[in-house]
Amino acid sequence: MDEAEICDHVAIMDAGKIMVNDTPENLKRLYTKDKAIVKVNDSDAFEVALNETNHIYKKVKEAFYIDIDAIQHFLEFIKPFNHELKDLEIKKGTLNDVFLEITGKEIREEMTE
């Protein structure tokens, strides 16, 4: 879907039916959330803070995958943990994420020789 990222308009189809038709930016804003991937030294204290502020997250090994609505708000939340940060990555929603959210299916890349 890399080509679709630069288009003015994108239609997502499922089983021959157009499910949505909008700009790539609007589709990502409506159907995806940005995610922060965070690794901290004191994961217990960080997890308590996430729960107290009702952040939606998933913990996988030592990383927290956190849904973020607004990057500015998230940066304010994480500021007290600056000295504890080992790694921080922000992942923007993609059109692949939009497709999965709308259809419930992964995109299959057709390989032709």
Backbone angles phi, psi at 98, to 5 degrees: -60, -50
Q: d(Cα 34, Cα 44) in Å, to the nearest integer?
A: 23
Q: What is the pLDDT of residue 108?
A: 63
pLDDT in tens, 32-54: 989 999 999 999 999 999 999 99
The residues, ordered by sequence, that sit 6+ positions from 49 with a Cβ below 8 Å of its Cβ are 77, 80, 81
Flag whether pLDDT at 109 surpasses 60: no
Domains within the chain, CATH numbers bracketed = 3-103 (3.30.70)
Contact 71, 90 (CB under 8 A): yes
Q: What is the pLDDT of residue 111?
A: 38
Residue with tokens 């909008």: 22
Q: What is the mean pLDDT of the chain?
A: 90
What's the pTM?
Answer: 0.73
